[in-house]
A = this chain, B = another copy of it.
Amino acid sequence: MAFERTLKMGMVGGGPDAFIGDVHRKAARLDGKIEIAAGAFDVDPAKSRQMGEQLCLDPGRAYDTYQDMIKGEMARPEGERIDFVSICVPNNLHFPIAKDFIEAGFNVMCEKPMTITLDEAKELEKLVEKHGVVFGLMHNYTGYPMVKLARDLVAGGDFGKVRKVVVRYIQGWLATKLEDTGLQQATWRTDPKQSGAGCLGDIATHAENLAEYITGLKIENICADITSFVPGRPVDDDVNCLLRFEDGVKGILHATQIATGQENGLSIWVHGENKTIEWHQEEPNALYLKDNEGPMQVWRRGNPYVEEVSAAAARGCRIPPGHPEAFIEAMANVYCNFADTIWAKLEGQEADALVSDFPKVGDGVRGMSFIETVMESAKSDQKWTAMKK
């Protein structure tokens, strides 16, 4: 899709000490569709201005607060305002900030988990509907081309009915009480006031989203066991779930932050009547397809045989096979589809299914439902618990 101009992005969060905000900026910039135009980058106004300088922004658009940004941008002539805002702040702030921007009519890209409660999530869903804004949720892992291929292979006729899903997300970085060292990434993630939940919100929701994205199936019931292994940690750092999806599909989801020496091990296996697919985020350019008839196949990003099966995977590729693409490119794919959808809206058009293939407010509602259901099941000593509505 050719744009007449680049879209202007505002940002809440992503200040000098932050991590994910800068990754958002790189991903947004990558394909030349988006430029960073404004921001309230930090709760400390001085740091917000410092980041504005570092980004060579118009000084008037490095705001002290996100409320100022809303006012300031609204005051600009149409066409010169930001086209959307990216919200990259601790979890507990997602809801109020997103709410305010939506009510002011801005399109929103929001980090996950979307909110702290399911009720907040459902309220955002209503607001998005009411105000007609484009809302993206940064479940970036579904931006990987091989994840899109996986979805399209599972949906294809050869795969057979899905029977079982195993999804895991294992990290080791929080195996010690890193939050006590002052590391900002650890501190807010393990503070229940800011994060709502620990491992559950930070990574288990990615696993849940990935499983539902690839299979197109909804989880219906969960039997969960959650643990805080690190002494003195007030949030969970380990999540184990038995899953029951619709249509008799069974599953396992496990996530942990105490798997010493593991980096970012998000992996999924989907077993169908005829085929199995397997994918590992740490080697994202490969997808394994297996059956009982012939040799295992290793599908690799960028090849024509991938593109024949999955237009979505093709759309998410920039460079030829063997020239690996990775995490930032996957996040950029989310931004691309989000941006194209905004552009379509600006043009008064409907984005088609390929363009519209990015995580949305509904994914956020599912994620919050998952979190609350797991918590309830775990509290009730692992009774099977229906996904909350």
A→B interface (CB under 8 Å): 2-6, 19, 22-23, 25-26, 29-32, 36, 53-56, 160, 163-164, 166, 168, 170-173, 175-176, 223, 225, 227, 229, 238, 240, 242, 244, 250-252, 254, 256, 258-265, 269, 271-276, 281-285, 289-300, 302-303, 305, 318-329, 381-384
With a cutoff of 8 Å between Cβ atoms, the chain B residues found around residue A300 in the complex are: 263, 295-296
Give CA–CA (A326, B302) in the complex, Å: 14
Tell me if A318 and B23 are in contact (CB < 8 A). Answer: yes
Give CA–CA (A269, B223) in the complex, Å: 22
With a cutoff of 8 Å between Cβ atoms, the chain B residues found around residue A284 in the complex are: 324
Tell me if B282 and A322 are in contact (CB < 8 A). Answer: yes
Tell me if A323 and B384 are in contact (CB < 8 A). Answer: no
Q: A173-B292, A382-B384 are in contact. Are A242 and B260 (CB under 8 A)?
A: no
Tell me if A261 and B290 are in contact (CB < 8 A). Answer: yes
Q: A290-B261, A303-B295, A382-B382 are in contact. Are A254 and B252 (CB under 8 A)?
A: yes
**How many copies are assembled?**
4
With a cutoff of 8 Å between Cβ atoms, the chain B residues found around residue A285 in the complex are: 282, 326
- The smallest C-beta distance from A72 to any residue of chain B, in angstroms, reads 22
Tell me if A223 and B163 are in contact (CB < 8 A). Answer: no
Q: A261-B296, A381-B384 are in contact. Are A171 and B256 (CB under 8 A)?
A: no
With a cutoff of 8 Å between Cβ atoms, the chain B residues found around residue A160 in the complex are: 260
- The smallest C-beta distance from A292 to any residue of chain B, in angstroms, reads 6
- The smallest C-beta distance from A245 to any residue of chain B, in angstroms, reads 12
* A-B CB contact pairs (8 Å), 28 listed: A22-B318, A32-B55, A163-B238, A164-B256, A170-B269, A172-B271, A225-B242, A240-B252, A242-B382, A256-B271, A261-B291, A262-B322, A265-B322, A281-B322, A282-B322, A283-B324, A293-B305, A294-B305, A295-B297, A295-B305, A296-B297, A298-B298, A323-B327, A324-B327, A326-B329, A328-B329, A382-B383, A382-B384
- The smallest C-beta distance from A244 to any residue of chain B, in angstroms, reads 8
Instruction: State which of B22, B175, B240 has its C-beta within 8 Å of the C-beta of A250.
Output: B240
Give the one of A54, A261, A322, A324 with max B CB within 10 A. Answer: A261
Give CA–CA (A328, B30) in the complex, Å: 9
With a cutoff of 8 Å between Cβ atoms, the chain B residues found around residue A256 in the complex are: 164, 271
Give CA–CA (A176, B271) in the complex, Å: 13
With a cutoff of 8 Å between Cβ atoms, the chain B residues found around residue A3 in the complex are: 56
- The smallest C-beta distance from A279 to any residue of chain B, in angstroms, reads 13
Given A163-B229, A260-B273, A325-B326, 8 more pairs with CB closer than 8 A: A26-B318, A32-B56, A166-B168, A225-B244, A225-B250, A240-B250, A260-B271, A282-B322
